[in-house]
């Protein structure tokens, strides 16, 4: 083995500072003493003691240098430097950098000179670090503010109420709470539990009082039947009272369902905030009969301040406490007619806790008196006087609690939902302890909202963390590439410095100085641009989500951005330092050949081979990661820590991404060959040959760019498609649940009871003053043969038929293409006494409780066809349609079932039968008995045969699935559903309607259709809500828009960094091949052909690596789609990234031109070919 040592005068045994065994000069038995001379003497071969039985030859070069303690020796060996030596030199460089100011100034001067000569490289590195810091600041600030965003959104939906107390447990039958008694019990608690108030809720129908004809000018006249053309039933002085009220006989115009809420303006949490304090003050100063109404209600009723509003409501059960004060309970009418005056109109957002957008706020100081004045005329003066003594605090519907500001901030501003829930639970447990858990029910509306939002917030936080990690990794690779290229372009210059006394630690210090020369300014500028960018994001969030965020970026975001901005360059500089200090001095000073190395031979002696620290660390980290996933994933499932679960899941996917990319690089040459064959078939053979040879010669450097592009494209495709899958799942779930373009939901449909209704008899009510009133007789109608339970009137089949005619006449079929309806299932209390309907096989091997859903014949003609997927069907379906076939003559008890149900029941053909088992509560005297004194019911079972008409994979509105964890629903015709009840006289007309669906020609007509429905329903006593597809998807579209912009920005940043890497690699490739380019020009290749060689090389490199990344990203996204389908039960089509595919070609061609033309132009613009051939790197 041969080694060379360059000795300086005043030589000291400096090799001892290296670890033992690192160099073969660490222990010398003899040293040649050389006298100082002027000039350089010839080299002298000196033989010293051998080691390991091998002779070592030392070539000694004498030179004259002043004797100084800093004189050093530089050892050059043929052995590869070890990781221990490399890390030791890094440590020495940092130590020497801080120990000597003059040395640091020297390094800084050299760095500034290098920056002036290589402006492009420094600019690329500067932009890379600046982008990482800026993105870290913005993204991590948003991530840290997500708790605030969630709290603001929850308060916008439910108000600033942390805890709601209602009756429950042993007191579940009670309708109200005594707030005075409750507040007395809570006096002993700390100040954190003293913010609470009460509310009294009442639901009624509101209309403009001016739309009513008052017979005697008072509201009391609305209790009596109109006298025109009517004779008194009891006597000439008897006035006939309506069974409830006669408002519908006197009033016209819009009628809206309203929530009347009695709130204490001085203590209610809705008015404790500074922004809403004036609302509470205004409510407190309103006069008697003055109320506040919401903007939505004022717009619907077309009322303003000073107008009178009539509210018709039932006192039972909400005001049962007041109603019990009436002495003659059996003769009183449990309804009230509230005549109130609009004192103020407020925005809906000021009181978001109301169950409806239409609400009326009342002052508790006047409420009881207004209720007493609104009672029926049959209530005596004595009863009214007794009822006036009741105070609203004594019959509160609910009691609301709020945390003080400090405790509220500590409880909710956490990213972990488990911590939020624990803090709120501990705070609310004291209320339950003081009052008694067996008498109340506690609800936490804000926690319920945050619980539904934690999945989305965890997903967003995960995406942000992964994006920051990906940017940091790509930036470190870019900086590492730029530093490596910068070092290789200065190899000869650094070799001269080493001859003049530069040690390895000096070289490492020089690299670190170069690195942080652009890192520190980039870090400062990144923080500034991050703050500006955060202001822009804050404005966008305020515009779309109406959520104000803080003005300044968070301290944690600045800390992590600093760590990334200063740590990424440090990590990126390690490999170039190792490459620099391991380069032999003769190799650095050799200018006779190019720097490009196509083939590397490495010969190692077996006994000198050391442990590969890198491979060992990689394996160790993989083992630790697998063990952590194995331990923490079950823990996250048990504790419902979804953030930890998502992080483990996505880190595993990122590991798969990295592994698949490394595996795909084995097909790099195959992909490059395919790209050349496809895109270069027309090119000159010499150009194709040179492109192939150039790719082979630069394979080592190009591999970094290939891995970088493949990882970046794979990562972008993966997160983009994964997010598209989540958004598409939300859209599909919303669209499937709505079914059609416009949906009318009937909130309180009538529920028929299988028992005959006795007729009301005329009842004359005498009062102590001699006045008599008679209630009107209620005649039996065929539709009312079966009694209706519930206080909602609902929509009958006759009314639906009239609605359908009116819609087509008013709007036309050019606007509304088709209409249909949905009725309630016969189970679930909708058709008493039907208790349960089970579905079983003939041999009863399978027995399941399924939801039976009656559907009209044209149901699927109105629904969105994208979600109707039929697996197989019988001939009746092809003749009459999917639901029309259920009404065919041969389709008795035929059903449409899910694919999973068909598989579980093992139905091989449509002739295979199954059983419907109906459980009915049978009365001992029969269902036709009108006697109220019936003995307790006894359940009876009825069996009916059925068969499948069609098998569906998915359906709109109803759950049809092919996945094994759900059986789906069963669709029947209306006659079959009635037949299964076992009641012979039951008609389909009494089945309650729950929804009406309309298929509209264009979204532009949604508003017109909704306005017509509101106008038509306002004249009827129907509780309803109207939804259209555009409004239902508005929030999802907003989220999609925001994240689309986010992903576009991230894609531009990442691809820009990749382009920087490509530019640096192509610059190095071209400059390394300067001698080859000179030879090609000498052989007659034109300048245009030289340009095309390197443009095609860059294009081939980008497109091939982009395709590899695309394949990897699509493979991972497909796994996400399969997992999402298991959770959502939706057959979602794969959103193939066509945009990313197009961008690969566009970016590939653009990057190839921009990255290769500039360095080739530099070489070709040199004065002559001789200058190209003699160029030294």
CA angle 602, 604, 607 (to 5 degrees): 170
Cα 973 from Cα 896, distance rounded (Å):
10
The winner for highest mean pLDDT among 616-620, 850-854, 985-989 is 850-854
Q: Are strands 163-167 and 44-47 parallel, antiparallel or unpaired?
A: unpaired
| E strand map for 876-1035 | 894-898, 913-922, 938-954, 970-972, 993-1000, 1024-1028
Is 5 in a helix, a strand, or coil? Answer: strand
608-to-21, 80, 83, 144, 613 alpha-carbon distances in Å: 10, 10, 14, 52, 15
Side by side, the strands of the sheet bearing 816-823 are: 816-823, 993-1000, 742-746, 1024-1028
Structure tokens at 740: 């059609």
Whole-number pLDDT of residue 595:
57
Per DSSP (E only), the strands in 247-358 are 256-263, 290-294, 308-314, 335-346
The H helix count followed by the E strand count for the chain is 35, 30
Q: Tokens 């001859």: give the residue.
A: 499
* In the predicted structure, residue 52 carries a pLDDT above the cut 50: no
Q: Mean pLDDT: which of 447-456, 514-523, 960-969, 1021-1030 is highest? A: 514-523
Q: How far apart are the first and last CA of the chain?
A: 29
- The residue that leads in pLDDT, 996 or 537, is 996
Taking the C-alpha atoms of residue 716 and residue 722, their distance in angstroms, rounded to an integer, is 10
SS3 content of the chain, % helix, strand, coil (to 5): 55, 15, 30
CB neighbours of residue 662 within 10 Å: 13
Instruction: Tell me what the pLDDT averaged over the chain comes to.
Output: 75
Distance CA 444, CA 412 (A): 13
pLDDT at 998: 92
Residues 6+ apart with CB under 8 A from 187: none
What is the distance between the alpha carbons of residues 598 and 603, in angstroms, rounded to a whole number?
Answer: 17
Nearest-Å Rg of the Cα atoms of the chain is 42
Query: Taking Cα atoms as reference points, which of 143, 1029, 96 lies closest to residue 507?
Result: 96
Helix or strand or coil: residue 338? strand
Least confident range from 79-83, 90-94, 1089-1093, 1144-1148: namely 79-83
Per-residue model confidence as pLDDT tens digits over 242-255: 756 677 778 877 78
Give pairs for 53-56: CB < 8 Å, separation 24+: 54/1, 56/1, 56/2, 56/3, 56/24
- Better pLDDT: 848 or 609: 848
Residues in Cβ contact with 842 at an 8 Å cutoff, skipping those fewer than 6 apart = 913, 914, 915
Burial 570-580 (b: 16+ CB within 10 A, else e): eebbbbbbbbb
Q: By three-state DSSP, how is residue 945 classified?
A: strand
Q: What's the rounded Cα separation, in Å, for the pair 399 and 410?
A: 23
Which is more confident, 937 or 975?
Answer: 975
Q: Per-residue pLDDT averaged across 50-74, rounded?
A: 41
Confidence of residue 448 (pLDDT cuts 50, 70, 90): confident
Quote the pTM value.
0.66
3-state secondary structure of 441: strand
pLDDT in tens, 199-251: 988 888 888 888 888 777 778 778 877 765 444 343 334 566 675 667 777 88
CA–CA gap between residue 625 and residue 642 (Å, rounded) = 18
Q: CA quadruple 203, 205, 207, 212: dihedral positive or negative?
A: negative
- d(C-alpha 280, C-alpha 259), whole Å: 18
Closest CA to 401 of 270, 273, 277: 270
Q: Are strands 852-854 and 970-972 parallel, antiparallel or unpaired?
A: parallel
pLDDT at position 632, please? 81
893 within 8 A of 979, measured Cβ to Cβ: yes
DSSP-derived pairing of the beta strands 938-954 and 894-898: parallel
As given in the structure block, the two tokens for residue 873 are 């069907």
Rounded to 5°, the CA angle 401-405-406 comes to: 120
pLDDT confidence of residue 759: 37
Backbone angles phi, psi at 640, to 5 degrees: 55, 40
359-370, pLDDT tens digit by residue?
Answer: 899 999 888 888
Q: What is the mean pLDDT of residues 89-97?
A: 58
Predicted pLDDT of residue 44: 39
Distance CA 51, CA 877 (A): 94
Confidence (pLDDT) at 537:
81
How large a percentage of the chain has pLDDT more than 70? 76
Characterize the bridge pairing of strands 847-849 and 290-294.
Answer: unpaired
* pLDDT tens-place string over residues 776-832: 433 333 333 344 444 445 678 888 888 999 999 988 888 999 999 998 887 766 666
DSSP string computed for 674-701: HHHHHHSTTS-HHHHHHHHHHHHHTHHH
Task: Write out 37-87 in H/E/C secondary structure.
Answer: CCCCCCCEEEECCCECCECCEEEEECCCCCCCCCCCCEEECCCCCCHHHHH
- As a whole number of angstroms, the distance between CA 374 and CA 337 comes to 5
DSSP 782: G
For residue 997, pLDDT over 90 is answered with: yes
pLDDT digits (tens, 9 = 90+) for 1031-1072: 878 777 777 777 777 777 777 778 877 887 788 778 778 877
What is residue 919's three-state secondary structure? Answer: strand
State the Cα–Cα distance between residues 787 and 832, nearest whole angstrom: 10
Closest CA to 340 of 319, 360, 364, 357: 360
Q: How does pLDDT run across 1110-1123, given as a tens digit for each residue?
A: 888 888 888 877 77
Given a cut of 90, is residue 137 above it in pLDDT? Answer: no
What are the residues whose beta carbons fall under 8 Å from the beta carbon of 411, sequence distance 6 or more?
403, 420, 423, 424, 427
* Residue of 1017 and 59 predicted with greater confidence: 1017
Least confident of 311-325, 493-507, 1004-1018, 1143-1157: 311-325
Sign of torsion, CA 534 537 543 547? negative
Helix (H) or strand (E) holding 822: strand 816-823
Beta strands 359-362 and 290-294 are antiparallel
Q: What is the chain's length?
A: 1177
What stretch of H or E contains 647?
helix 642-664
């Amino acid at each position: 083995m041969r080694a060379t040592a360059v000795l300086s005068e005043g030589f000291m045994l400096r090799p001892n500072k290296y670890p033992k065994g690192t160099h073969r000069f660490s222990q010398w038995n003899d040293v040649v003493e050389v006298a100082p001379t002027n000039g350089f003497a010839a080299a002298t071969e000196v033989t010293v003691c051998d080691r390991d039985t091998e002779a070592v030859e030392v070539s000694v070069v004498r030179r004259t240098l002043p004797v100084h303690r800093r004189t050093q020796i530089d050892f050059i060996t043929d052995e590869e430097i070890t990781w221990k030596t490399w890390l030791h030199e890094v440590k020495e460089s940092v130590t020497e950098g801080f120990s000597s100011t003059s040395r640091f100034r020297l390094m800084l001067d050299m760095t500034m000179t290098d920056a002036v000569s290589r402006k492009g490289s420094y600019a690329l590195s500067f932009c890379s670090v600046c982008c990482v810091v800026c993105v870290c600041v913005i993204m991590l600030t948003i991530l840290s503010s997500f708790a605030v965003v969630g709290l603001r959104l929850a308060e916008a939906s439910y108000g600033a109420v942390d805890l709601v107390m209602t009756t429950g447990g042993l007191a579940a039958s009670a309708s109200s709470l005594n707030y005075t008694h409750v507040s007395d019990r809570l006096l002993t608690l700390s100040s954190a539990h003293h913010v609470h108030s009460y509310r009294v809720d009442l639901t009624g129908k509101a209309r403009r009082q001016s739309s009513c004809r008052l017979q005697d000018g008072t509201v009391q006249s609305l209790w009596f039947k109109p006298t025109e053309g009517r004779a008194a039933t009891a006597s000439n002085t008897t006035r006939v009272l309506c069974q409830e009220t006669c408002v519908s006989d006197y009033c016209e115009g819009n009628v809206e369902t309203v929530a009347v809420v009695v709130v204490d303006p001085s203590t209610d949490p809705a008015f404790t905030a500074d922004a809403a304090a004036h609302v509470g003050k205004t409510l407190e100063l309103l006069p008697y009969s003055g109320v506040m109404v919401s903007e939505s209600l004022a717009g619907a009723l077309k009322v303003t301040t000073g107008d009178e509003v009539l509210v018709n409501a039932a006192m039972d059960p909400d005001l049962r406490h007041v109603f019990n004060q009436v002495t003659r309970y059996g003769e009183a009418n449990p309804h009230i007619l509230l005549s109130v005056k609009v004192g103020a109109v407020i925005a809906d957002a000021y009181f978001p806790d109301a169950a409806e957008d239409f609400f009326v706020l009342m002052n508790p100081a006047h409420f009881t008196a207004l209720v007493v004045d609104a009672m029926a005329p049959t209530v005596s003066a004595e009863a009214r006087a007794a009822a006036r003594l009741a105070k609203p605090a004594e019959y509160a519907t609910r009691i609301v609690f709020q945390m003080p500001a400090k405790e509220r901030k500590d409880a909710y501003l956490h990213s972990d939902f488990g911590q939020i829930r624990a803090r709120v639970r501990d705070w609310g447990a004291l209320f339950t302890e003081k009052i008694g858990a067996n008498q109340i029910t506690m609800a936490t509306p804000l926690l319920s909202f945050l619980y539904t939002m934690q999945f989305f917030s965890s997903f967003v936080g995960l995406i942000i963390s992964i994006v920051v990690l990906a940017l940091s990794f790509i930036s470190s690779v870019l900086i590492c590439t730029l530093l490596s290229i910068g070092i290789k372009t200065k190899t000869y210059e650094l070799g001269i410095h080493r001859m003049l006394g530069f040690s390895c630690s000096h070289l490492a210090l020089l690299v670190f100085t170069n690195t942080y020369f652009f890192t520190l300014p980039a870090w400062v500028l990144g923080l500034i641009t991050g703050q500006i960018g955060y202001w822009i994001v804050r404005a966008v969030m305020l515009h779309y989500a109406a959520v104000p965020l803080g003005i300044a970026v968070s301290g944690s975001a600045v800390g992590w951005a600093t760590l990334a901005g200063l740590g990424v360059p440090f990590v990126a500089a390690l490999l170039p330092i190792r490459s620099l200090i391991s380069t032999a001095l003769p190799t650095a000073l050799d200018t006779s050949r190019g720097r490009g190395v196509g083939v590397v031979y490495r010969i190692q002696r077996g006994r000198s081979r050391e442990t590969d620290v890198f491979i060992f660390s990689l394996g160790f980290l993989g083992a630790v990661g697998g063990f952590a996933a194995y331990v923490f994933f079950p823990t996250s499932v048990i504790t419902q820590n979804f953030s930890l679960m998502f992080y483990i899941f996505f880190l595993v996917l990122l590991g798969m991404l990295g592994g698949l990319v490394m595996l795909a690089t084995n097909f790099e040459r195959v992909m490059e060959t395919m790209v050349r064959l496809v895109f270069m078939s027309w090119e000159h053979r010499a150009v194709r040959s040179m492109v192939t040879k150039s790719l082979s010669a630069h394979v080592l450097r190009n591999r970094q760019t290939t891995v970088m592009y493949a990882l970046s494209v794979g990562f972008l495709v993966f997160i983009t498609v994964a997010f598209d899958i989540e958004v598409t799942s939300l859209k599909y779930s919303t669209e499937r649940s709505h079914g059609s373009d416009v949906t009318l939901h009937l909130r309180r449909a009538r529920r028929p009871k299988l028992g005959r209704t006795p007729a009301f008899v005329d009842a004359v009510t005498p009062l102590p003053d001699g006045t008599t009133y008679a209630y009107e007789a209620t005649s039996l109608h065929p539709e009312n043969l079966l009694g209706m339970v519930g206080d909602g009137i609902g929509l009958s089949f006759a009314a639906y038929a009239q609605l359908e005619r009116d819609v087509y006449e008013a709007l036309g079929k050019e606007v509304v293409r088709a209409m249909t309806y949905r009725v309630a299932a016969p189970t679930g209390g909708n058709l008493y006494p039907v208790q349960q309907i089970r579905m079983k096989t003939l041999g009863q091997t399978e027995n399941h409780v399924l939801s039976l859903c009656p559907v009209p014949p044209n149901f699927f003609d109105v629904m969105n066809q994208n979600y109707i997927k039929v697996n197989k069907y019988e001939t009746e379906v092809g003749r009459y349609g999917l639901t029309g076939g259920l009404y065919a003559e041969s389709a008795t008890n035929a059903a449409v079932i899910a694919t999973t149900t068909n598989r579980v029941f093992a139905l091989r053909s449509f002739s295979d039968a199954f059983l419907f088992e109906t459980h009915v509560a049978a009365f001992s005297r029969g269902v036709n008995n009108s006697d109220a004194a019936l003995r307790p019911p006894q359940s009876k079972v009825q069996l009916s045969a059925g068969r499948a008409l069609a098998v569906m994979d998915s359906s709109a509105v109803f759950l049809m699935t092919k996945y094994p964890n759900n059986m789906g629903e069963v669709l029947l015709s209306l006659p079959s559903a009635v037949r299964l009840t076992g009641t012979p006289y039951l008609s389909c007309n009494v089945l309650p309607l729950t929804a009406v669906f309309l298929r509209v020609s264009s979204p532009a007509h949604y508003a017109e259709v909704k306005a017509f429905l509101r106008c038509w329903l306002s004249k009827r006593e129907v509780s309803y809500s109207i939804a259209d597809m555009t409004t239902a998807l508005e929030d999802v579209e907003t989220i999609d828009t925001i994240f689309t912009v986010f992903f576009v920005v991230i894609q531009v940043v990442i691809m820009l960094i990749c382009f920087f890497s490509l530019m640096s690699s192509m610059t190095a490739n071209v400059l390394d091949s300067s001698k080859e380019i000179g030879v090609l020009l000498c052989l007659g290749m034109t300048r245009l052909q030289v340009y095309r060689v390197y443009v095609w090389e860059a294009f081939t490199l980008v497109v091939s690596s982009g395709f590899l990344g695309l394949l990897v990203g699509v493979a991972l996204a497909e796994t996400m789609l399969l997992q999402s389908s298991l959770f959502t039960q939706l057959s979602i089509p794969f959103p193939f990234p066509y945009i990313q595919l197009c961008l690969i070609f566009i970016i590939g061609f653009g990057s190839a031109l921009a990255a290769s033309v500039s360095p080739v132009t530099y070489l070709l613009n040199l004065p002559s070919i001789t200058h190209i051939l003699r160029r030294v790197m």
